[in-house]
Amino acid sequence: RLQLTGEVTFQPPPLVLLLGAGPEAAPLLRIARTLGWFAWVADHRAGLLAHDDLGAADRLIPGRPAAALRALVDDRFDAAVVMTHTADNDLAALEALASRETGYVGLLGPPARRDELLARLTNEQRAALAGRLHAPVGLLLGGEGPEAIALAIVAQLQQAFYRVR
């Protein structure tokens, strides 16, 4: 946040970290970039990171979620969306995000998966994520497929970034 002469305040565009480059990543990136947001994508699958559909990303980070978050220890992002499509990688991401101050943490997947992953976290990690974890991530807008899921996620992020309730 930058304030000039006490009259004008500029809010920098949000920075969103996508932990996973699955099918929802490309449409989510396109919508985020249309809104003027910055977006980074981390994934350990080189083939997914190399895909042309991720060209809208401002930064591509090779590595599993926990390793990527360790590499980004000095970086601050406004939101992280955990969307690796694998329980162990999602768990590692949640464990790492529990120790960060990221204001919004989203988890892709159904409520049963959320409950399974939360049960595997420590009490301290669950407490650290409380109030920040949005799981399942996204607003209930209806529709199916990667584009509809991406739209639902971006809609919830927009709400969170601009404190609309």
Residue type (1 letter), 164: V
Q: And the tokens for 137? A: 């991530």
Task: Give 164's pLDDT tier (boundaries 50, 70, 90).
Answer: low
Q: How far apart are CA 76 and CA 114, in angstroms?
A: 25
Cβ–Cβ < 8 Å for 35, 157: no
pTM of the model: 0.91
Tell me 100's DSSP state.
S
How many Cα atoms occupy the beta-carbon half-sphere of 136 within 13 Å? 14
CB atoms within 10 A of CB 142: 8
Question: Could you read off the pLDDT of 106-141 as tens digits, one per residue?
Answer: 999 999 999 999 999 999 999 999 999 999 999 999
The answer to whether 97 touches 69, Cβ cutoff 8 Å, is yes
- Report pLDDT digits (tens) over 54-99: 988 999 999 998 899 999 988 999 999 999 999 999 999 999 999 9
Q: What is the DSSP letter of 105?
A: E
